[in-house]
Amino acid sequence: MLKRLILDKKYALLVILLVVLFSPGFYFWAENLSLKDKGIGWTTSICLGFALFSLSCFLSGKKEKTYLFILFVLSILPNSTVWSYLYLSNIYMCKDMYWVIFNSNIRECAEYFSSFFSWMPALMTFAYIACGIFLLLTPSSKVVIPLEKNKGLFGLSLLLIVSIFSFQYLVKAIPFLDFYKSGITYIGEAHKMNEEMNLRKKHFIQVDRKHGISPGKRVFVVIIGESLSTEHMGIYGYCRNTTPQLCALKSELDIFTDVVTCDTHTIGVLKKVLTFADHDHPDWYIMKPSIVEVFNSAGFETYWISNQELVSKWGGNYGVIAREAHHTYDLSLAKKNDEIVLPQLNEILKDTVTKDKIIFIHLMGNHHQYSCRYPDNFSRFNHKKDLLPPKDFADKKAFKIIDEYDNSVLYSDSIIATIIRKVKAQQTSAFTLFFSDHGEEVYDYRNAVGHFMTNVYPSQCRIPFILWRSEKYKKEFPSIVIDQTRPFSTEHLIYALSDLSEINFEGNQPTQSIFSPNYTPPHKRWVGEEDYDREVLSKINC
């Protein structure tokens, strides 16, 4: 009977094996999976395959085809995405990695596709779909086992599926389960955060100004860059002068040399940077106020200028926080380079409001595709003329990409320096703080380009952290400590920015502010789930 059943349902079995074993078949590429992970992944996939096939045995004809069709269609996007990313980066996608996809807009997806397009993933996706369609078009089975006599098998199959879906360590082995589970979690988190934002509006956050400082017409600016690594900045010692304008201002700048990001993707970074959340308390990004709320409560007029999309499909993450500002400007729809933020900044600086101002500016910065991040007149670096140190793993295409990235850094330099000069022209008590959300690996230590969530290398997390202060500010706030060599992680930015702005609130931790006389270097600087000083640095020091 069992042999007859399997022979009759062989095509159903092949569809299910295609769905559940497609990704495990390429585990040997995954640098972020241990032998144990691979073993558990294969075991989980086989168990799920058994459960799905067992359920198909209770169906025949059109019902069976419908069941298989739904399974296959649901698997196409997750399996092809995981396989393509695995092929391009040797990283197996799972869990929060999908959130980047959910929060990306069409333009970002198009640019990523353009930057990293390869025929192999496209052909494999086509082959996957073709195989599935062929198997679905085969004759349906006629043999079916009665549910009444096999309730134990039916119950066991459902129990296996629910158990796998419930445990993240198991579900990551099955892309189509992990993908949709992550999607459900993402929607739930975004909805939860929106609800929390509405609740926050009903509660006053007590914030005090230190030393009895009264509101005035101060101008504080925070510039958030994108995908900028210190390893490609002339002001940090790079072999090319990619930052001539910042170098011209060098005597006026505090250039911090040991600052790392808290994650390697924008969502993960800004969820910590803009709130009290940190590695040990990730839920604080919902349960505690945001950095914008703190400044609203301190009596500041708050502004948010963004050249990155704020309104996502679900309205979650940092866009929700940005919209808490008194004035929010989403300039991303214009699809222009970062100079688009400058006219809006001019208007804000002209605003005659009598309050202190804090202006957040979120740049598109050096986001791939790098060649789209600067106008033609900034296309200055050429590896054929400006020789770069030889790299065994880099070919002509790699050096061309390095040129494009360096050109984008040159352009970012001009935008950041221009903002500083505009703030300086106000001749008031002011500061401008610039940092990048995360770094970028551009063939620095290996044959890799981009930023990854696992197997992180230093260039992905070493970021610029540059402060400009006006002379009036220095006289007004003499207690600010400047030690450019202090080790710091941006997950504690909310405390550092509070010190810079001379504000205080319940829960403030001066020991975590890089500008505080009481600063205590963090025991660990987490980059995602990797210890920067112990794990990340060891990859280039060994």
Question: What digits encode the pLDDT tens for the residues 106-117?
Answer: 665 666 666 666
Instruction: Give the model confidence (pLDDT) of 392-433 as tens digits.
Output: 777 888 899 999 999 999 999 999 999 999 999 999 999 999
Question: Among the CATH numbers 3.40.720.10, 3.40.630.10, 1.10.510.10, 3.40.50.150, which is that of 217-541?
Answer: 3.40.720.10
Q: What pLDDT was estimated at residue 115?
A: 61
Q: What pLDDT was estimated at residue 69?
A: 96
The tokens of 438 are what? 């995360």
Distance CA 376, CA 403 (A): 13
Which one, of 12, 414, 471, 502, lies nearest residue 211 by Cα? 502
| For residue 313, pLDDT beyond 50 | no
Could you tell me the pLDDT band of residue 211, with boundaries at 50, 70 and 90? low
| For residue 243, pLDDT beyond 60 | yes
Q: What pLDDT was estimated at residue 314?
A: 39
User: What is the Cβ-side half-sphere exposure of residue 175, based on CA atoms within 13 angstroms?
Assistant: 29
Beta strands in 18-108 (DSSP E): none
Could you state, in order of their start, the residue ranges of all structural domains in the chain?
A: 2-189, 217-541
Instruction: Give the model confidence (pLDDT) of 369-401 as tens digits.
Output: 899 999 999 999 998 887 788 887 778 888 999
Could you tell me the pLDDT band of residue 52, with boundaries at 50, 70 and 90? very high
Higher pLDDT, 66 or 212: 66
| C-alpha angle 105-108-114 in degrees, rounded to nearest 5 | 140
Q: What pLDDT was estimated at residue 368?
A: 85
Contact indicator for 391, 398 with CB cutoff of 8 Å? yes
Q: Is this structure's pTM higher than 0.75?
A: no
Q: What pLDDT was estimated at residue 319?
A: 78
| For residue 492, pLDDT beyond 80 | yes
